[in-house]
Amino acid sequence: MLADADRLKKAAKEIRKQSLIMTHDAGSGHPGGSLSCAEILSALFFYKMKYNPKDPKWPDRDRIVMSKGHASPALYAALSEAGFFPKEELKTYRQLNSRLQGHASIYTPSIDICTGSLGQGLSVGNGIAMAGKLDSKSYNVYVIMGDGELQEGQVWEAAKSAAHYKLDNIIAIVDRNGLQQNGPTEKLMRIEPLAEKFHAFGWHTIEVDGHNISELVNGLDLATSIKGKPKVVIAKTIKGKGVSFMENVSSWHGKAPNDDQLKQALSEVEAN
Protein backbone atom coordinates (compact mmCIF):
# COMPACT_ATOMS: atom_id res chain seq x y z
CA MET A 1 0.00 0.00 0.00
CA LEU A 2 1.24 3.49 -0.83
CA ALA A 3 1.10 5.94 2.06
CA ASP A 4 -0.81 9.15 1.42
CA ALA A 5 1.44 11.46 3.46
CA ASP A 6 -0.98 14.40 3.29
CA ARG A 7 -3.84 12.28 4.56
CA LEU A 8 -1.69 10.97 7.43
CA LYS A 9 -0.51 14.47 8.35
CA LYS A 10 -4.10 15.71 8.31
CA ALA A 11 -5.19 12.86 10.55
CA ALA A 12 -2.35 13.59 13.00
CA LYS A 13 -3.46 17.23 13.09
CA GLU A 14 -7.03 16.17 13.83
CA ILE A 15 -5.82 13.81 16.58
CA ARG A 16 -3.94 16.73 18.17
CA LYS A 17 -6.87 19.12 17.93
CA GLN A 18 -9.38 16.67 19.35
CA SER A 19 -7.00 15.66 22.16
CA LEU A 20 -6.72 19.30 23.17
CA ILE A 21 -10.47 19.88 22.99
CA MET A 22 -11.24 16.72 24.95
CA THR A 23 -8.87 17.50 27.80
CA HIS A 24 -10.01 21.12 27.88
CA ASP A 25 -13.69 20.17 28.01
CA ALA A 26 -13.13 17.49 30.65
CA GLY A 27 -10.91 19.81 32.69
CA SER A 28 -8.49 16.90 33.09
CA GLY A 29 -6.51 14.31 31.17
CA HIS A 30 -3.09 14.03 29.57
CA PRO A 31 -2.46 16.33 26.60
CA GLY A 32 1.37 16.10 26.48
CA GLY A 33 1.59 12.36 25.93
CA SER A 34 -1.37 12.45 23.56
CA LEU A 35 0.24 15.04 21.30
CA SER A 36 3.51 13.10 21.13
CA CYS A 37 1.90 9.99 19.66
CA ALA A 38 -0.35 11.67 17.04
CA GLU A 39 1.74 10.60 14.01
CA ILE A 40 2.24 7.10 15.45
CA LEU A 41 -1.53 6.62 15.68
CA SER A 42 -2.11 8.24 12.31
CA ALA A 43 0.39 5.90 10.61
CA LEU A 44 -1.16 2.88 12.32
CA PHE A 45 -4.82 3.70 11.71
CA PHE A 46 -4.59 5.30 8.29
CA TYR A 47 -1.79 3.31 6.71
CA LYS A 48 -0.80 0.16 8.49
CA MET A 49 -3.61 -1.51 10.37
CA LYS A 50 -6.42 -3.55 8.90
CA TYR A 51 -9.80 -3.15 10.59
CA ASN A 52 -13.46 -2.64 9.85
CA PRO A 53 -15.24 0.09 11.82
CA LYS A 54 -18.58 -1.53 10.97
CA ASP A 55 -17.38 -4.74 12.60
CA PRO A 56 -15.20 -3.52 15.51
CA LYS A 57 -14.50 -7.04 16.78
CA TRP A 58 -13.72 -8.53 13.34
CA PRO A 59 -11.62 -11.58 14.33
CA ASP A 60 -8.99 -10.91 11.64
CA ARG A 61 -8.40 -7.26 12.52
CA ASP A 62 -5.02 -6.00 13.62
CA ARG A 63 -5.04 -5.31 17.34
CA ILE A 64 -3.95 -2.16 19.11
CA VAL A 65 -2.96 -2.13 22.76
CA MET A 66 -2.64 1.42 24.04
CA SER A 67 -0.39 0.46 26.91
CA LYS A 68 0.20 4.13 27.77
CA GLY A 69 -3.53 4.25 28.48
CA HIS A 70 -3.48 7.82 29.83
CA ALA A 71 -2.99 9.01 26.23
CA SER A 72 -6.51 7.82 25.50
CA PRO A 73 -7.61 11.16 23.95
CA ALA A 74 -5.28 10.50 21.00
CA LEU A 75 -6.59 6.95 20.68
CA TYR A 76 -10.24 8.07 20.83
CA ALA A 77 -9.60 10.80 18.27
CA ALA A 78 -8.00 8.24 15.92
CA LEU A 79 -10.86 5.78 16.41
CA SER A 80 -13.50 8.39 15.66
CA GLU A 81 -11.54 9.61 12.63
CA ALA A 82 -11.42 5.97 11.47
CA GLY A 83 -15.22 5.76 11.77
CA PHE A 84 -15.68 3.58 14.86
CA PHE A 85 -18.01 6.16 16.43
CA PRO A 86 -19.18 9.69 15.66
CA LYS A 87 -16.92 12.62 16.48
CA GLU A 88 -19.76 13.94 18.63
CA GLU A 89 -19.10 11.18 21.15
CA LEU A 90 -15.65 12.61 21.90
CA LYS A 91 -17.51 15.22 23.97
CA THR A 92 -18.31 12.48 26.52
CA TYR A 93 -14.62 11.86 27.31
CA ARG A 94 -14.15 11.29 31.08
CA GLN A 95 -17.87 11.53 31.82
CA LEU A 96 -19.76 9.03 33.95
CA ASN A 97 -21.07 6.10 31.85
CA SER A 98 -19.19 7.26 28.76
CA ARG A 99 -17.54 4.68 26.49
CA LEU A 100 -14.53 7.01 26.48
CA GLN A 101 -13.07 6.72 29.95
CA GLY A 102 -10.02 8.63 31.20
CA HIS A 103 -7.86 5.61 30.43
CA ALA A 104 -8.35 3.35 27.44
CA SER A 105 -10.84 0.60 28.20
CA ILE A 106 -12.85 -2.28 26.75
CA TYR A 107 -15.97 -0.07 26.65
CA THR A 108 -14.55 1.62 23.57
CA PRO A 109 -15.38 -0.06 20.24
CA SER A 110 -12.61 -2.41 19.05
CA ILE A 111 -10.49 -2.08 22.19
CA ASP A 112 -9.66 -5.40 23.89
CA ILE A 113 -7.95 -4.36 27.09
CA CYS A 114 -8.21 -1.79 29.86
CA THR A 115 -4.89 0.00 30.19
CA GLY A 116 -3.60 2.76 32.40
CA SER A 117 -1.76 0.75 34.97
CA LEU A 118 1.52 1.13 33.15
CA GLY A 119 3.71 -1.81 32.21
CA GLN A 120 1.02 -4.39 31.49
CA GLY A 121 0.21 -3.84 27.83
CA LEU A 122 3.08 -5.82 26.34
CA SER A 123 2.16 -8.89 28.40
CA VAL A 124 -1.42 -8.68 27.15
CA GLY A 125 -0.17 -8.07 23.62
CA ASN A 126 1.89 -11.27 23.90
CA GLY A 127 -1.23 -13.19 24.84
CA ILE A 128 -3.20 -11.79 21.90
CA ALA A 129 -0.27 -12.54 19.59
CA MET A 130 -0.01 -16.12 20.87
CA ALA A 131 -3.75 -16.60 20.40
CA GLY A 132 -3.37 -15.37 16.83
CA LYS A 133 -0.70 -17.99 16.17
CA LEU A 134 -2.75 -20.77 17.76
CA ASP A 135 -5.79 -19.77 15.69
CA SER A 136 -3.70 -19.48 12.48
CA LYS A 137 -4.66 -15.83 12.12
CA SER A 138 -2.49 -13.39 10.23
CA TYR A 139 -3.22 -10.29 12.33
CA ASN A 140 -0.51 -8.18 13.94
CA VAL A 141 -0.59 -6.74 17.45
CA TYR A 142 0.64 -3.18 17.90
CA VAL A 143 1.51 -2.19 21.47
CA ILE A 144 2.14 1.50 22.16
CA MET A 145 4.24 2.14 25.25
CA GLY A 146 5.60 5.26 26.91
CA ASP A 147 9.30 5.52 27.63
CA GLY A 148 8.69 6.18 31.32
CA GLU A 149 6.53 3.08 31.26
CA LEU A 150 9.57 1.01 30.30
CA GLN A 151 10.84 1.44 33.85
CA GLU A 152 8.27 -1.17 34.88
CA GLY A 153 9.93 -4.58 35.30
CA GLN A 154 6.94 -6.38 33.80
CA VAL A 155 7.77 -4.89 30.39
CA TRP A 156 11.08 -6.75 30.38
CA GLU A 157 9.53 -10.03 31.47
CA ALA A 158 7.16 -9.63 28.52
CA ALA A 159 10.04 -8.69 26.21
CA LYS A 160 11.80 -11.89 27.22
CA SER A 161 8.79 -14.12 26.61
CA ALA A 162 7.86 -12.48 23.26
CA ALA A 163 11.32 -13.40 21.97
CA HIS A 164 11.24 -16.86 23.53
CA TYR A 165 7.95 -17.66 21.79
CA LYS A 166 9.12 -16.01 18.53
CA LEU A 167 6.10 -13.72 18.45
CA ASP A 168 6.82 -12.04 15.14
CA ASN A 169 3.23 -10.81 15.00
CA ILE A 170 3.92 -8.35 17.80
CA ILE A 171 5.20 -4.86 17.09
CA ALA A 172 5.93 -2.66 20.08
CA ILE A 173 6.15 1.06 19.50
CA VAL A 174 7.89 3.19 22.10
CA ASP A 175 6.81 6.82 22.23
CA ARG A 176 10.30 8.01 23.16
CA ASN A 177 9.45 11.56 24.17
CA GLY A 178 12.09 11.62 26.89
CA LEU A 179 9.72 12.78 29.61
CA GLN A 180 7.52 11.02 32.12
CA GLN A 181 5.27 12.44 34.83
CA ASN A 182 7.85 14.34 36.87
CA GLY A 183 10.71 14.99 34.49
CA PRO A 184 13.17 13.34 32.08
CA THR A 185 13.31 9.55 31.99
CA GLU A 186 17.09 9.56 31.92
CA LYS A 187 17.25 11.57 35.14
CA LEU A 188 14.59 9.63 37.05
CA MET A 189 15.48 6.08 35.98
CA ARG A 190 17.78 5.67 32.99
CA ILE A 191 16.47 3.42 30.18
CA GLU A 192 19.27 3.91 27.65
CA PRO A 193 20.78 2.23 25.76
CA LEU A 194 17.25 1.29 24.79
CA ALA A 195 17.70 -0.28 21.36
CA GLU A 196 20.59 -2.36 22.68
CA LYS A 197 18.45 -3.54 25.58
CA PHE A 198 15.64 -4.75 23.30
CA HIS A 199 18.25 -6.29 21.00
CA ALA A 200 19.78 -8.17 23.91
CA PHE A 201 16.31 -9.49 24.76
CA GLY A 202 16.02 -10.97 21.25
CA TRP A 203 14.07 -8.24 19.45
CA HIS A 204 14.63 -6.62 16.10
CA THR A 205 14.96 -2.89 16.73
CA ILE A 206 14.07 0.02 14.44
CA GLU A 207 14.62 3.69 15.33
CA VAL A 208 12.65 6.48 13.66
CA ASP A 209 11.67 10.12 14.03
CA GLY A 210 8.18 9.66 15.45
CA HIS A 211 6.86 12.86 13.87
CA ASN A 212 8.12 12.02 10.40
CA ILE A 213 5.38 10.20 8.52
CA SER A 214 7.59 8.55 5.92
CA GLU A 215 10.08 7.31 8.53
CA LEU A 216 7.20 5.88 10.56
CA VAL A 217 5.58 4.23 7.57
CA ASN A 218 8.89 2.71 6.42
CA GLY A 219 9.72 1.63 9.95
CA LEU A 220 6.36 -0.09 10.35
CA ASP A 221 6.70 -1.77 6.95
CA LEU A 222 10.15 -3.02 7.88
CA ALA A 223 8.78 -4.28 11.19
CA THR A 224 6.07 -6.38 9.59
CA SER A 225 8.49 -7.76 6.98
CA ILE A 226 10.85 -9.28 9.54
CA LYS A 227 9.95 -12.79 10.63
CA GLY A 228 10.93 -15.05 13.52
CA LYS A 229 11.22 -12.46 16.29
CA PRO A 230 9.29 -9.59 17.89
CA LYS A 231 9.98 -6.10 16.62
CA VAL A 232 10.18 -2.73 18.35
CA VAL A 233 9.93 0.67 16.71
CA ILE A 234 11.54 3.29 18.94
CA ALA A 235 9.93 6.53 17.82
CA LYS A 236 11.76 9.67 18.90
CA THR A 237 9.09 12.23 19.72
CA ILE A 238 8.45 15.48 21.57
CA LYS A 239 6.02 15.54 24.45
CA GLY A 240 3.39 18.21 23.76
CA LYS A 241 4.42 18.33 20.06
CA GLY A 242 2.71 21.07 18.07
CA VAL A 243 1.92 23.46 20.93
CA SER A 244 4.78 25.83 21.84
CA PHE A 245 3.99 26.15 25.54
CA MET A 246 3.48 22.39 25.96
CA GLU A 247 6.52 21.08 24.06
CA ASN A 248 9.03 19.37 26.33
CA VAL A 249 7.28 20.63 29.48
CA SER A 250 6.61 17.70 31.78
CA SER A 251 3.93 19.54 33.77
CA TRP A 252 1.60 19.22 30.74
CA HIS A 253 1.20 15.61 31.76
CA GLY A 254 -1.99 15.44 33.84
CA LYS A 255 -3.23 18.98 33.24
CA ALA A 256 -5.88 20.43 30.97
CA PRO A 257 -5.59 23.63 28.94
CA ASN A 258 -7.85 26.51 30.00
CA ASP A 259 -9.95 28.51 27.50
CA ASP A 260 -7.15 30.86 26.42
CA GLN A 261 -4.59 28.08 26.25
CA LEU A 262 -6.93 25.97 24.13
CA LYS A 263 -7.46 28.83 21.72
CA GLN A 264 -3.74 29.38 21.27
CA ALA A 265 -3.00 25.66 21.08
CA LEU A 266 -5.59 25.02 18.39
CA SER A 267 -4.37 27.91 16.27
CA GLU A 268 -0.76 26.67 16.53
CA VAL A 269 -1.73 23.11 15.58
CA GLU A 270 -3.78 24.43 12.68
CA ALA A 271 -0.88 26.57 11.46
CA ASN A 272 1.63 23.68 11.51
Binding site for ligand TPP (CB under 6 A): 30, 33, 36, 68, 70-71, 116-119, 146-149, 175, 177, 179-181, 239
3-state secondary structure of 99: coil
Q: Where are the beta strands (DSSP E) in 50-203?
A: 63-66, 141-146, 170-176
- CA-nearest of 206, 263, 271, 259 to 233 is 206
Rounded to whole angstroms, how far apart are CA atoms 218 and 101?
32
35 Cβ partners below 8 Å, 6+ apart? Answer: 16, 19, 20, 74, 239, 240, 241, 242, 243, 246
Of 33 and 257, which CB lies nearer to ligand TPP in the complex structure? 33
Query: Which residue is nearest to ligand TPP, using beta carbons?
Result: 146
Rounded to whole angstroms, how far apart are CA atoms 56 and 54?
6
Of 132 and 146, which CB lies nearer to ligand TPP in the complex structure? 146
Of 30 and 48, which CB lies nearer to ligand TPP in the complex structure? 30
Tell the smallest beta-carbon distance from residue 12 to ligand TPP (Å).
16
Tell the smallest beta-carbon distance from residue 103 to ligand TPP (Å).
8
Of 162 and 191, which CB lies nearer to ligand TPP in the complex structure? 191
